[in-house]
Amino acid sequence: MDPEPVKHPIRIAVIGLGPRAINNVIRAVTTYREYRLVAVCDILPAIVKQVTADLNKKQVRVAVHGLAKDAGSEDLDAVAVQVDPDKQVAICCGRWRRACT
């Protein structure tokens, strides 16, 4: 039995735009119609610019955030944190702190 299709796409932001995010997370999110990439961010503006240019070529429009603390101002269902493990806790805790206030 196949699962029922989602009623609304799952809205996802990606924090950290390294190879793991680009080659795995973003590729998957932009491949399946059940997902919608709504925001990306990275600490390096040049990487954000390149990734959003590549996404625009594929007709994928996203909000752009340069810093992780700003990501999540969109309506989101999930955030894929693709940064070094030593930075993940601070990013996630800050995001949840803002969401809970």
Q: Report pLDDT digits (tens) over 8-19.
A: 889 898 988 999
Q: What is the pTM of this model?
A: 0.74
Please check the confidence at residue 30 and state whether its pLDDT lies above 80. yes
Beta carbons of 72 and 39 less than 8 angstroms apart: yes
Residue 78: predicted pLDDT: 85
Rounded-to-integer distance, Cα 75 and Cα 7, Å? 16
Structural domains in the chain? 10-99 (3.40.50.720)
For 60-92, the pLDDT digits (tens) are 888 776 544 555 555 778 888 888 777 766 766
Instruction: Give the mean pLDDT of the chain.
Output: 79
User: Smallest Cα–Cα separation from 54: which of 83, 22, 78?
Assistant: 22
